[in-house]
Amino acid sequence: MIEIKELNKSFDSIKAIDNISARIEEGHVFGLIGTNGAGKSTFMRMLSGVLKPDSGEILVDGDAVYDAPDVKKKIFYISDSQYFFKSGTPKDMMKLYQSYYPGFDEAKFVGLMEKFGLSMSRKTNTFSKGMKKQLSVLCGICTNTKYLLCDETFDGLDPVMRQAVKALFVKEIEERGLTPIIASHNLRELEDICEYVGLLHRGGILLAKDIDDMKLNIHKIQCVVKEEELLEKIKSGLDIVTMDNRGALYTFTVRGKRVEVDDFMQECNPIFYELLPLSLEEIFISETEVKGYDIKKLIF
């Protein structure tokens, strides 16, 4: 488990990380959402022990990570712009990581490179952006570390490769309890793989929640209501987070158990109504608007 306690980091007058506290459980995918400049990369570099916090602490399985080589062996960090030798090959990268990570699985690496259609002997400076991303992921997977930190890992991958990488993460989670921590500016990329998500804005985490819990307790209702009296009954009888309307068509985002919400709407008996599933993006928009943030300007 990774524990983050009251973490702060500044660069001169810029507050990059502002009093973050969070827990990342083992064997689950944790998604960190935020726009460019929100502090994701700084946060990931501190998690990996590259940067030292100004204050607060990061504990990996109970031990501080900064300046602790034995703890860092549990972590592999895939940065947004991963380093490669100028004239090196994937084989050279494998040898490099073998020197740092004793558990590096050479046979698995060679096998995955073949499956992904990547050459072991081709110079990496001839690889496309997507191919370099694939190589970074395969290096990270084959180190057999407990924690895999991924900064914008899906950026540059085509749809087929995105699904292949996600499937690889799931396989590693099931087989050896890998804990991927994935930072991205795109909620849609993470919705089908993350179990826990945190929203990072201006250096602080606004929300950190279990996705299933969020989806079970927040719903979208579309209904047609023409009578003012019925509208007031619906508004007073539901725990409304957001409301929008176009003429007589109203859209509500509400909290509560689905069965109870459905029963109440049947009792109200409007001209038309339906309960619709919310996407992860819609959930975050609703949650953060309550906190006074215009999330539509922060994420897409």
Which runs of consecutive H residues, i.e. helices, occur in the chain? 40-47, 69-72, 90-100, 106-115, 129-142, 159-176, 187-190, 211-216, 228-237, 258-268, 280-290
Third-level CATH fold of 217-297: Alpha-Beta Plaits (3.30.70)
Span 231-254, pLDDT tens digits: 999 999 999 988 889 999 999 989
Structure tokens at 201: 């804005």
Rounded CA separation 158/112 (Å): 18
Residue ranges covered by each domain of the chain: 2-210, 217-297
| pLDDT, tens digit (0-9, with 9 covering 90-100), for 9-30 | 999 888 889 888 888 888 889 9
| CATH class entry, domain 2-210 | alpha beta
Integer Cα distance of 3 and 22 in angstroms: 6
- Residue 38 confidence (pLDDT): 78
Task: Tell me the one-letter amino acid at 133.
Answer: K
What is the pLDDT at residue 236?
93
| Mean pLDDT computed over 145-171 | 90
Residue 299 pLDDT exceeds 60:
no
74-124 pLDDT per residue, tens = 999 998 888 888 889 999 999 999 999 999 999 999 999 999 999 999 999
pLDDT score at 300: 47
pLDDT at 55: 94
Length of the chain: 300
Mean pLDDT of 200-206: 73
pTM over 0.85: no
Residue 209 half-sphere exposure toward CB, CA atoms < 13 A: 17
